[in-house]
Amino acid sequence: MTSTRQLRDYDHAKLEPIRNMMRWLLREIGFRCLARIDGVNGLQHLPTTGAAILMMNHIAFIDSLVVMACMPRNVVPLAKREVYDYPFVGIFPRLWRVIPVDRRGFDRRAITDALAVLRAGEILLIAPEGTRHTQLHKAKEGVAYLAYRADVPIVPLAIEGTEGFPTLSPARKKQGGAVMRLGPPLRLKRLSTRPTRTQLEQMTNECMYKLAELLAPHRRGHYADLEQATKEYIA
């Protein structure tokens, strides 16, 4: 299937009612029973209209669901292709139209689908590390590639407190719940030529240091030394 055909097939208006219903179910039923959310800070940094990328750290299975439930706008996550095959819960990413990613290499279809979401004026949710870690690991360049290609802002989002969820355990819920913190939007500077792989890597690192600033020091991992952060490519 060609890129043009994929963009044409993406129907934002048709998906919004389905996503609104599922977001209500997540917020009003799922998270009342299976998880606890203690707060969202910095929502003023999320654009009220237009396309953007939410760039988050990823520490637990439930992270994306928490973000999807709590944002004032619907967001479209990228997720490993295997989530479509999970028993019972696999129907959720299919209905939401979560973008499946083949993590074994460069997934051109996922890139094309992600650009379709951005060109429809929606918000894309990306965990640049590609998998779950208790601390930040070196991020992949896909987030910078998409933001530069679509010319959209990146909003860093730090998430904490999701370990152990979903659960029916009252004891776990008493220990505290998920907390999210959004930072100011980042814009990648336009270059006179297409960015190289090295430039995309530096763009990604500069954005990841901004995400690290929002996290507790023990979560910063690969980006712990904030003094190493540069600002050559972000505005």
**CATH code for position 51:** 3.40.1130
Number of domains in the chain: 1
Is-contact 125 75, C-beta < 8 A?
yes
User: pLDDT digits over 29-65, tens only?
Assistant: 888 888 899 999 999 999 999 999 999 999 998 999 9
- Given the structure tokens 């208006």, which residue do they identify? 13
DSSP letter at 189?
P
Q: Is residue 184 part of a domain?
A: yes
**46 is a domain residue:** yes
What integer pLDDT is reported at residue 141 of this predicted model? 94
* Position 182 in a domain: yes
Percent of the chain with pLDDT over 90: 73
In what side-by-side order are the strands of the sheet with 75-80? 37-41, 178-182, 154-160, 52-56, 123-126, 75-80, 99-101
- Tell me the C-alpha distance between 154 and 169, whole Å: 36
In a domain, 235, yes or no: no
Segment 141-170, tens digit of pLDDT: 999 999 999 999 999 999 999 999 988 898
Segment 108-135, tens digit of pLDDT: 899 999 999 999 999 999 999 988 999 9
In a domain, 21, yes or no: yes
Domain assignment present for 82: yes
Assess contact for 223 and 208: CB atoms under 8 A. Answer: yes
Q: Measured between alpha carbons, how far is 61 from 165 in angstroms, rounded to an integer?
A: 8
Residue 150 lies in a domain: yes
pLDDT value at residue 80 = 84
pLDDT of residue 146: 97
For residue 145, what are the CA distances in angstroms to 49, 51, 182, 201, 218? Answer: 22, 15, 21, 9, 28
Can you give the residue range of the structural domain that contains 27?
A: 3-228
Whether 233 maps to a domain, the answer reads no
